[in-house]
Amino acid sequence: MNDQTTAHHEELLAAFDREMREHARPDGPGVRVERTDGLVRQVGAPHDWNGVVWSSPDLDAVRADAAIAAQVAHFTELGYDEFEWKLYAHDRPADLGARLLAAGFEPEEAETLLVAPVADQPMTVRLPEGVELRTVRDEADVDLMARAHEQAFGSDWSRLHHQVLARLKDDPDHFVGVLAMAGDEPVSSARMELYPGTGFAGLWGGGTVEAWRGKGIYRALIAFRAGIAAERGYRYLQVDATEDSRPILQRLGFTALGTTTPYVYRPTS
């Protein structure tokens, strides 16, 4: 990596940290963002995403331990069954992950933070025969998204179901849900979060039912959402990518800026 490329990566990462983390906006109706003691956290209802999204780069070891203890006390007092500290590889202090682990947090699978300029993305949608894309319009479509997700990932979608339905009803201008349908059967689904006041649109989901993988549906979902992001004036697409999707996205021109690991705290009963 040459100096110019390194500088570009650092500039992108700084913009992401500033716009998406330090100055985070609530990600749904009824959710609030709180700034306290060098941290930014999101707090909503128990079924919302609750947790820490940013910590100050000058957080030292002593302040880090105090901040961790304060967040545990705060969310435990709220009575939630879990909350998350979203840790990025460049966060400080360098051993913040180990400190979270020592405080009772459990790390989940790390993902790669990927960013791409919207203008550089191919926006021509190519689908296998018999498959069509459509935007999510109502609760019945959200049910189809849930079915596709659960078949693709084998995981429960009940919490996301509530969040997606709330966004669709109460904040449709900043949320896009997409279904890939083979006749009446959902074979893939994806979401896009549009973050007003930033240059970023976040891509989420994109799980495809096993029998339909390898046919270009995932790439079509990227292109479809890139077109919408371009129409609405967003500069960058951002993805927290699993190892399954990372190589596809990098072939599409996404740049890896680092990794992010969810550290989840579940109070003992």
Distance CA 39, CA 239 (A): 23
Residue 227 burial (CB count, 10 A): 16
CA neighbor of 61 nearest in space, from 85, 90, 93, 89? 93
With beta carbons less than 8 A apart as the criterion, state whether 204 and 250 touch.
no
pLDDT score at 37: 85
pLDDT score at 269: 53
Would you state the structure tokens that stand for residue 179, as one six-digit string? 């279904």
Would you state the structure tokens that stand for residue 10, as one six-digit string? 């650092």
pLDDT score at 157: 85
Where are the chain's structural domains? 3-113+260-265, 117-257
pLDDT score at 80: 92
Q: So what CATH class is 3-113+260-265?
A: alpha beta
Distance CA 85, CA 265 (A): 8
pLDDT score at 7: 84
Distance CA 121, CA 252 (A): 7
Distance CA 205, CA 164 (A): 12
* Chunked mean pLDDT (size 10), the chain, 269 residues: 80 96 91 94 94 96 95 95 97 97 97 97 94 96 94 87 90 95 97 94 94 95 97 97 94 96 90
Distance CA 156, CA 175 (A): 21
Distance CA 229, CA 223 (A): 10
Superfamily name and number for 117-257: Gcn5-related N-acetyltransferase (GNAT) (3.40.630.30)
Would you state the structure tokens that stand for residue 137, as one six-digit string? 């319009």
Same-fold call for 3-113+260-265 versus 117-257: yes
Cα torsion 173, 177, 183, 185 to 10°: value is: -140
Distance CA 248, CA 20 (A): 24
Distance CA 77, CA 257 (A): 35
